[in-house]
């Protein structure tokens, strides 16, 4: 049987010449079609069950036996397939389960995708470095299929910004030459909180003086007072009240200045407990800068931060910003966001209810270049109590130089409860 050739249909003896002499034609046996077994969601049980099939948002129809256009004898059938999204809520006309009964929300959906992917890695269909790419695609699918209704709570703007330490060797990119641009970036976004990295004490004071309405917390990483770089947290003093603050070191001795594992330098986490003055809501904010050399130090730092956030914040919602010096495929990133652990830490870029804005990368260098960076090392994470309204990488320059050698990262979140 050739493609598109009639099966058991007799159009008459001249059919081979394109002439129908029997109308209607004589019909023979029914056309036999074998179809695969499907699960309760209408998706095939056989074959390679990728994450879209195993953790579904739709029924996927992998191919069509019908050609795209009528009268195209000899054409190969259309194998592009299609999908039919699940209903977001109960629908009496749809026997498939709705999305709201399959998943508690986007974070639950992404967790289930993440937990399923190791089975595909074990079967050698995926590599470890594919995990984040698939999570990004799954996040986009969710936004496309399942429009989200945001909480009516007030938005909280969180920002992370590595401002580059005041290095005398930076020449025309020294702090004094670009600090006004840094102030302008901050004031234009007007965040509730922003975590900075690489800031020396005088830079922290400059930013407090040069921006509108902020106070800050933090200590120098070298002595726990004023020496070395800070990882400060700035907060809008009109909207938020500081209740508690402290710092711990990323090492086996987190309560005192120390270098951890194979790190090159002391590394710290600054944290604060804040109360919104109008609503009384309490959240914790953490800010850090992982080591740039120590691979094991970054992995252990991720695990330590998980433990300390659980110890410090307890059941309260939290935000975590920083320059983590890792890409999303790294072991440290995967350890930090491991969904099998208690108090899952979520990447706001993945949780965003609209697709992320701005370039993929965040480490730019000072000089404006037509090729935007692809390597993300700056992040904002959150706890499950937040909806993420949007995530954006901000690109600001004077046309020649950027305000820093890192782009600003912004997330707008809302408490659900």
d(CA 16, CA 397): 71
Mean pLDDT (the chain) is: 92
HEC letters along 77-104:
CCCCCEEEECCCCCCCCCCCCCHHHHCC
Nearest CA-CA partner of 269 in 283, 284, 286, 244: 286
**pLDDT of residue 375 exceeding 80:** yes
Distance, C-alpha 384 to centroid of its chain: 13
**pLDDT of residue 229 exceeding 90:** yes
Domains of the chain are: 33-147 (no CATH), 156-415 (3.60.10.10)
Pairing of strands 193-197, 156-162: parallel
Tell me what pLDDT residue 211 has: 97
Torsion angles phi and psi, residue 228, rounded to 5: 85, 180
Q: What is the mean pLDDT of residues 98-116?
A: 95
- 72 falls in which pLDDT band (50, 70, 90)? low
Bridge partners (DSSP) of residue 322 are 288, 379
d(CA 185, CA 159): 11
3-class secondary-structure state, position 415: strand
Q: What is the mean pLDDT of residues 136-149?
A: 90
pTM here?
A: 0.88
């Amino acid at each position: 049987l050739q493609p598109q050739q009639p099966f058991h249909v007799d159009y008459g003896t001249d059919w081979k010449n394109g002439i129908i002499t029997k109308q209607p034609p004589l019909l023979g046996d029914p056309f036999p079609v074998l179809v695969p077994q499907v699960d309760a969601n209408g998706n095939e049980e056989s074959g390679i069950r990728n994450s879209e099939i195993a953790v579904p948002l739709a029924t996927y129809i992998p191919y069509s036996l019908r050609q795209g256009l009528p009268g195209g004898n000899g054409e190969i059938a259309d194998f592009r397939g299609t999908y039919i999204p699940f209903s977001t809520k109960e629908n009496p006309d749809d026997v498939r389960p709705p999305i709201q009964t399959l998943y508690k929300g986007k974070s639950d959906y992404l967790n289930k995708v993440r937990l399923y992917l190791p089975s595909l890695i074990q079967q050698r269909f995926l590599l470890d470095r594919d995990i984040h790419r698939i999570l990004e695609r799954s996040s986009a699918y969710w936004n496309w299929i399942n429009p989200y209704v945001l909480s009516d709570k007030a938005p909280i703007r969180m920002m992370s910004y590595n401002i580059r330490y005041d290095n005398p060797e930076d020449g025309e990119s020294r702090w004094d030459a670009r600090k006004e641009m840094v102030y302008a970036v901050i004031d234009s976004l007007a965040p509730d909180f922003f975590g900075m990295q690489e800031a020396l004490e005088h830079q922290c004071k400059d930013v407090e003086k040069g921006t509108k309405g902020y106070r800050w917390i933090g200590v120098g990483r070298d002595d726990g007072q004023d020496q070395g770089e800070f990882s400060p947290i700035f907060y809008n003093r009109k909207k938020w009240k500081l209740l508690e603050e402290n710092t711990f070191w990323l090492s086996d001795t987190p309560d005192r200045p120390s270098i951890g594992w194979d790190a090159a330098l002391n590394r710290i986490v600054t944290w604060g407990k804040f109360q919104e003055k109008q609503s009384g809501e309490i959240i914790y904010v953490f800010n850090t800068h992982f080591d740039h050399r120590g691979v094991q130090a970054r992995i252990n730092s991720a695990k330590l931060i998980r433990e300390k956030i659980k110890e410090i914040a307890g059941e309260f919602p939290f935000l975590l910003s920083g320059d983590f010096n890792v890409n999303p495929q790294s072991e440290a990133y995967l350890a930090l966001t491991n969904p099998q652990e208690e108090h899952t830490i979520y990447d706001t870029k993945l949780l965003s209810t609209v697709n992320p804005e701005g370039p993929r990368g965040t480490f730019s260098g000072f000089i404006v270049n037509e090729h935007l960076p692809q390597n993300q090392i700056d992040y904002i994470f959150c706890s499950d109590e937040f909806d993420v309204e949007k995530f954006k990488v901000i690109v600001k320059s004077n046309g020649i130089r950027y305000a820093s050698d890192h782009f600003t990262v912004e997330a707008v979140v809302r408490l659900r409860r």
